[in-house]
Amino acid sequence: MPIRAGSNASASAARTAPSLAETAGPRPGGAIDRFAARLMGLSRWRRFGAAIAFGVLASLSVPPLYAAPLLWLAFPALYWLLVGARGGRAAFFTGWAFGFGFFVPGLYWVSWALTVDLPRFFWLIPFALAGLPALLGIFTGLAGLAFHGMRRAGWGGPLALAAAWALAEWLRGHVLTGFPWNLIGYTWVGWLPVLQGVSVIGIYGLSLLTVAAATLPATLTGPRRQGFAATAAGVALFAAIAGWGAWRLSGDAGGVVPGVTLRLVQPNISQTDKWSGDKRIENFNKQLAMSAAPGLDRVSAVIWSETAVPFTLSWEPEAQKALGAILPPGALALVGATRATPYGTEPLQAWNSIYAVDRAGTVLATYDKAHLVPFGEYVPLRELLAPLGIEKITAGSVDFSPGPGPRTIDLPGLPPVSPQICYEAIFPGAVLDPSAPRPGWMLNVTNDGWYGQTSGPHQHFAIARTRAVEEGLPLVRAANTGISGVVDAYGRVTGEIALGQAGILDAALPAALPETPYARWGDAGFWLLLALGLLLGRVGRPARGTLRPPAAGLP
């Protein structure tokens, strides 16, 4: 029932809830004030339900929809819900509920991978669909708790929430191997001028500024002049970033590396057929035939996706020779395949690798994936979990071993390259070897066939594009079922094979840019912004007091 001035419910709320007057200074006739008051006055379960709903709304901003304006609705609502939280525990669970609503639609595609072998893994689908968002929601819950501890009236409050959210994203990207997927900053992959900001402050810094600007309209419930000034400052900030980014994009027509043409092969082999015993040779030969299509004589390197060779290539010298046999003089094949210790050795070790093979079938170099997917490529705490029937979902009973980390590989006829396999490309600041000379390009091979026609492959491609802008390096991406493409150092796609299509793409290699500020200093810009946000977030009096609803009662 509505809370009305003078009622027992109002008196009870007055003893426990924060004050619109203290936090915002309401104007009873304003629609924004009434909406804010209603959110702050919600009871516990209604508050959590509203937080989930606004988290779902925020999820529409990330790839592939890029509905960035919705953040300017979702984050003020989160702010008001947190201000209305009665104690730290309520603030934590309000933040957790918002995160749960954000992650379920954003990461539903993870559960799709379990349908590839449904009889074995059907029972895990609910855990993947809801369990992973529930765990990731702990980070947004901690952000809500941190905000509760430092919330202030006026514009200091939105800055405090932005700092808490950004720190939670950074922690999510690093704790327990990290999973920095669908960071708020990825909203701007669909708005390239704004995305250029990551070349200076990285994706975590762009997330912080985005949440700050999106939350500042919450101050419109306070003194009119202050609220409009704060909101206008947020709009002006992103107008300035977009203007600078547009200028940056206009300053380069997109140069290429002379004499280098790459052929990307996307066979579009379904995951159920990829490792089928009677189709392995057929799948291998299909990719050989696609690679040998007309125009091969102009190609410097043929590139296949992650585990495109459906057997352990280090055990198959004849397959290595077959790869070399299709190549023109001076060209290389860069292919994904498993690598293992010699057959029969104990203990057996296996790696998820990229091979560089020349025309003679000689393996010139390999790169072993270092950042492995938990439960996909290995089982954490195997001694405890294996007796419970928990297995990795990829083929084979042997866990993959991790490689040594990012490497720069010199190959004949090509600029030095930094390889990444699958989701290694999602980790900002961890895609280049800091001890090696700067490479000329990045190579990402992946197999998103696990996720079908879901939003997952679109998100993966968008995240990988962001690494190109951060590092100022072109990115070449080969995927089994898509999305394969070539991305220049500004994040522009110069060539692409769409999701779910088979095909080849012959493309020039875009030129690298000079070292970006982010490439040189990493997350230093983010930490400076975070410190500033935490400092300014403490400005103003604490947001404490009593809930004072409009005279006519909360709607």
Catalytic residues: 306, 369, 422
Rounded to the nearest 10 degrees, what angle do helices 71-83 and 31-40 cross at?
A: 50
Pairing of strands 363-368, 417-421: unpaired
Could you give the strand order of the β-sheet that contains 350-357, starting from the edge strand earlier in sequence? 363-368, 350-357, 332-340, 301-303, 256-266, 503-510
The residues, ordered by sequence, that sit 6+ positions from 527 with a Cβ below 8 Å of its Cβ are: none
The residues, ordered by sequence, that sit 6+ positions from 433 with a Cβ below 8 Å of its Cβ are: 405, 406, 407, 408, 418
Q: Is the CB of residue 482 less than 8 Å from the CB of residue 497?
A: yes
- Cis preceding-peptide flag for 510 (omega within 30 of 0): no
Q: Is the CB of residue 254 less than 8 Å from the CB of residue 510?
A: yes
Kindly state the helix (H) or strand (E) to which residue 476 belongs, with its residue range. strand 475-479
The closest alpha carbon to 111, from 96, 102, 123, belongs to: 123
Q: Is the CB of residue 72 less than 8 Å from the CB of residue 214?
A: yes
Alpha-carbon distance 493 to 505, whole Å?
A: 13
Q: What is the 3-state secondary structure (H, E, C) of 271-288?
A: HHHHCCCCCHHHHHHHHH
